[in-house]
Amino acid sequence: MHVCRKQANTIFTAMVAAVATRHRPILAFTHRLSPGAHPRRLSTTATKRVNLRRSAYVLSNYWRLLSGIYSTRRNQSIMMATQYEISVTSCNEKRITLSLSATDYKTDTIHITEKTNDNCHSEEKLQKDDLTPVPQSVLQYERQLRKIKASDRASKTNVTVEDHLLTVHVDEHVVVTNKPSGILCVPGVKKHRSLLDLVYEVYGSTGDQARQSTLPRDSMIVHRLDMDTSGIVVFARTKLGMSKLHEAFRTRTGTKKLYEALLVGWLDINAWISAANINDSHQIKGLHEGIKNGTSDTITNTTNLGGGEINLPLQRDHKHPPFMRVSTPDSEAEAHQAVRELNHAGWKKLVAKKPKPSVTRFQVLSHEYWMGHHVTRVALIPITGRTHQLRVHCAALGHPILGDPAYGYCGEAHPNGGFSDEAMCQMSPTCAGIELRRNVEKSVRESGITMCLHARKLDFNHPETGEAVSFDAPPLF
């Protein structure tokens, strides 16, 4: 049975009236629901009475039945609201945009349907049994093991000026360093020796008197990187430098960051376009202006491998604190429920924080082999600066960062940025399979490398002169 959209809305309006008559109070909907929209989310704004939940539940079941009649190819996974926008502006530039939206489905938005299951990859092609989730017992064991190893690495690493302080630039107001992977940027809870300690020893009040800093140690911090992330880090040496840099990084004025990373699997933009049944000469409107117009934030495409933008809001993962995950209506509802339960248990001051908009632009640089495994080298530009943003967004593409101890295979956080393996395979036509991730993790342990994420380039306005300065340090991987 097939019905058009107008007929579907008419049928659903009749269902609303029938349920509203049977289950009072009457539900006053001010929105016309589109296919895939969830009645419960809208109905909660209409009334707060006790029997609303029952009415919404009945409507939800009716709508699920109607959705099956309306479109049998609609993606019914937890990623139902995910939208992919595919743009081919020329034969040399291919862009994709990944976002979550509660708006109506538009003709200029491409939805990856169930057929993309055939395109998921492991070493060669994802097998059916590759969708089998990792047992919880294995996950718990691996997560505890990772915590122990991370703590041991932070405490047992002999952090010295000779081995770990790589100064890129120093003047009266700032110190720019190239942080190695595997050491803390600032002291943690257990006060392990960090890069900040080294900078303060050499360029702080205990260093050379002719070049000493006028700031206490902790005031020299401007921004920071994760322990396993390497790359450019700037420290302040004067109050002027501290205030100017803090304002610039907080308001994101005059500051630009570019990261380089290796992702597990081959992120093939052509495969995404093919999966969406888009001809290379077809152009779809509605992409972010920065992508369409090629602003200074967009990386120059020199290899014609394409790129795009990941626009997925992030929230604190209540199941795996203190890590992050992509926020969906379901995860947000679960987080609010968890906070309510904690409030009822006596934790009255806990509140559920709203998800934060998060945007990352990326450019595929090359497809490579690492120890016999497929990896993709990408450049990443964080438009927003959320905690673990790049790591979560890459995992949400189906390609976690190589060596990521949290968002990679059996990591401490939720895999795939918060989505199930089945949902990820359904939407990402090039997602790295479980077998590939397992083999890569085995090679990571054998090689002893850390996460392949490097803050390659940092631009900011000098706090004294106001002139734009840029610092670049290529990665070691």
Q: How does DSSP assign 27-43, residue by residue?
A: P---SPPPTT--HHHHH
Instruction: Check pLDDT > 80 for residue 125.
Output: no
Choose among 443, 410, 416: nearest CA to 147: 410
Instruction: Check pLDDT > 80 for residue 241.
Output: yes
pLDDT score for 33: 33
pLDDT score for 234: 97
Neighbours of 114 (CB within 10 A): 14
- Distance in angstroms (rounded) separating the CA atoms of residues 220 and 254: 20
Pairing of strands 314-316, 324-326: antiparallel
**Mean pLDDT for the chain?**
74
Whether the Cβ atoms of residue 53 and residue 23 lie closer than 8 Å to each other:
no
**CA atoms within 13 Å, Cβ hemisphere of 476:** 11
Length of the chain, in residues: 477
pLDDT score for 467: 95
Instruction: Check pLDDT > 50 for residue 186.
Output: yes
Instruction: Check pLDDT > 70 for residue 324.
Output: yes
Question: Which tops the pLDDT comparison, 148 or 165?
Answer: 165
Instruction: Tell me the CA distances in angstroms from 318 to 326, 335, 422, one per residue in order.
Output: 12, 6, 22
pLDDT score for 92: 62
Instruction: Check pLDDT > 90 for residue 266.
Output: yes
Instruction: Check pLDDT > 60 for residue 405.
Output: yes
Of 67-71, 215-219, 332-336, minimum mean pLDDT range? 67-71
pLDDT score for 37: 40
Of 25-29, 91-95, 203-207, minimum mean pLDDT range? 25-29
Give mean pLDDT, residues 280-302: 36
Instruction: Check pLDDT > 90 for residue 95.
Output: no
Q: Whole-prediction pTM value? A: 0.73
Whether the Cβ atoms of residue 270 and residue 94 lie closer than 8 Å to each other:
yes
Instruction: Check pLDDT > 50 for residue 455.
Output: yes
Instruction: Check pLDDT > 70 for residue 410.
Output: yes
Band of the pLDDT at 75, cuts 50, 70, 90? Answer: very low
- Distance in angstroms (rounded) separating the CA atoms of residues 116 and 273: 11
Band of the pLDDT at 466, cuts 50, 70, 90? Answer: very high
Give mean pLDDT, residues 252-272: 95
Whether the Cβ atoms of residue 246 and residue 234 lie closer than 8 Å to each other:
no
Instruction: Check pLDDT > 70 for residue 431.
Output: yes
Give mean pLDDT, residues 135-145: 70
Of 116-130, 197-211, 274-288, 295-309, minimum mean pLDDT range? 116-130
Give mean pLDDT, residues 452-462: 98
CA-CA-CA-CA torsion for 397, 398, 403, 409, nearest 10 degrees? 140
Question: Which tops the pLDDT comparison, 123 or 398?
Answer: 398
pLDDT score for 303: 59
Share of the chain above pLDDT 90, in %: 47
Q: What is the DSSP letter of 133?
A: P
pLDDT score for 198: 95
pLDDT score for 93: 72
Instruction: Check pLDDT > 90 for residue 139.
Output: no
